[in-house]
Amino acid sequence: MHLSPKTFPPRLILAACLALSLALFGAVGAALAYEFSEDGYIAAGKVIDDDVFVSADSVTVDGTINGILFANGSNITINGTINGDLFANGNSVTINGPVNGNLVISGATLKLASAVEGSVFSGGQTLIIAPGASIGRNLYFGGFSLDVQPGASIARDLATGSYQVMLGGQVGRNIDASVIAFELSGKVGGNLNLDVEPPGKEDDVSIFEYFNFPGMPETFLPAGLRVASQAKIDGELKYVSPVDQAAAIQAVPGGGIVYTYRPAQGTEKADKPPVSVQIGNWFLSRIRELVTLSAIGALVVVLMPKLLPQGVQQLRSQPWASLGKGLLVLIVGLVGIFVAFLVVLTVGILLGIVTLGGLKDTVFGFGFSSIGLFSAVFWLMINYGSKLVVASLLGNWLFKRMGPAFSGHAFWPLLAGIVSYVILRGIPILGILFGAAATLLGLGAAWLALLAWRKGAAPQVIPSTAS
């Protein structure tokens, strides 16, 4: 899972923004696409050589799309061929046709029963990878239940954070998972890395079974790790858990088993580690932050080169306004997510009370999926986007004084600013204050740049003459 411009092509970044608009507002005007379907049906035999937007209660695509497909609705079924990336958001999403690109899906019940050439990014209650389905690169899943059935395959890596994982298919390389329950009967070509809860937490899922939320799986696994005798792990099995679960591991991994103890949730904290370990953890945290910001910054510079300069210009010209707007955006965004969650929950419960069960499922599936997508984008902007704006300002300031020969470059000043930010962020106490200020300043500057762009007066980036 290497980050590079090839991993996330420019069209994927732009398409993600448009997909978020679909999820939040349920429709996109015809001016946003070359092809727009309002009835939700693309017939078999029809070939569209362009990007397509489909928004309807029921979406069925039987034809061929030679471009990017955006699908939004309650029930989505893709039977045709997508020669490009596919973005789908709905209560129920089923992919039966081949996708010769990346797949991004969200909803309550998700099912992949075909071949995907690229990676799959998914979030929902349940994701089923059916027998015969294949993923050419990586699978990322966040939700309640992931079921990779026998005969399904993932060519590279699997990363997931979920309640339960049932893996009867094949993963070509490594698995990284944080779960309550994990059951393996298939094959892992590399290492299996788990953070798994101990057996005996079955009562934790009783609330889900009782309320029967939309998209919940038919099978609820008991907590803990289970590896069947027919399972195969070519690399190491590394798992972190409050208890040793060796008795439930019936197969012998090629690289052996490594168990690491951690305290159970709610128990007393472990003893304070030695100073040397604390220092090592500090350096490791700084390196992780540096690598993450650098990778995301490189993507932004390559794919959206005008984005950071516009934010920096707003921050340089309106620092106090950026600080105030950042605080306002942060508060309104967090409160808005909470209010939206309550609204969707209340409306869904009311519809359930008046026996409109189908409509209740639609509201829960569409509403919570939309909130999840918006929350993810908002979280990325808070944690990374705001820091990159401030780091870019720091880097430009440094290079104008220490390296004027490089002042025309886009990435090197940003990298210098990221290094400076990471160092300052690592200072005890002061680093926390600096990080908070950077978040508010960067978030506010980005918001001001967005407002200027919407008004058709995006700020012209003029090199500062300040000494």
The mean pLDDT of the chain is: 81
Q: What is the band of 466 on the pLDDT scale with cuts at 50, 70, 90?
A: very low
Residues 382 and 334 in one domain: yes
* Assigned domain for 55 exists: yes
122-149: average pLDDT: 94
Q: What is the band of 215 on the pLDDT scale with cuts at 50, 70, 90?
A: low
110-133: average pLDDT: 94
Residues 196 and 220 in one domain: yes
Of 206, 231, 261, which residue is a domain's last? 261
Of 201, 236, 261, which residue is a domain's last? 261
What are 65-79's pLDDT values in tens digits?
999 998 988 899 999
The order of strands in the sheet holding 153-154 is 115-116, 134-135, 153-154, 170-171, 187-188, 232-233
Residues 204 and 296 in one domain: no
- Which of the listed ranges 5-19, 89-103, 431-445 does the model predict with the highest average pLDDT? 89-103
- Indicate the number of domains in the chain: 2
Residues 203 and 242 in one domain: yes
Residues 418 and 332 in one domain: yes
pTM: 0.55
pLDDT above 90 as % of the chain: 37
Q: Are 304 and 392 in contact (CB under 8 A)?
A: no
What are 341-382's pLDDT values in tens digits?
888 888 877 777 665 555 777 777 788 888 888 888 888 888
Question: Per-residue pLDDT for 18 more than 90?
Answer: no
Q: What is the band of 245 on the pLDDT scale with cuts at 50, 70, 90?
A: very high
Residues 152 and 241 in one domain: yes
Best CA proximity match to 364, nearest among 220, 215, 219 = 215
Buried b (16+ CB within 10 A) or exposed e, 5-43: eebbeebbeebbebbbbbbeeeebeeeebebbbeebebe
pLDDT above 70 as % of the chain: 80
Question: Per-residue pLDDT for 127 more than 70?
Answer: yes
CA distance 371 to 19: 13
* Assigned domain for 345 exists: yes
* Assigned domain for 269 exists: no
Q: Are 418 and 290 in contact (CB under 8 A)?
A: yes
Range of the domain at 416: 277-454
Residues 289 and 256 in one domain: no
87-96: average pLDDT: 92
Listed in sequence order, the DSSP H helices in 403-429 are 411-425
Residues 248 and 291 in one domain: no
CA distance 322 to 311: 10
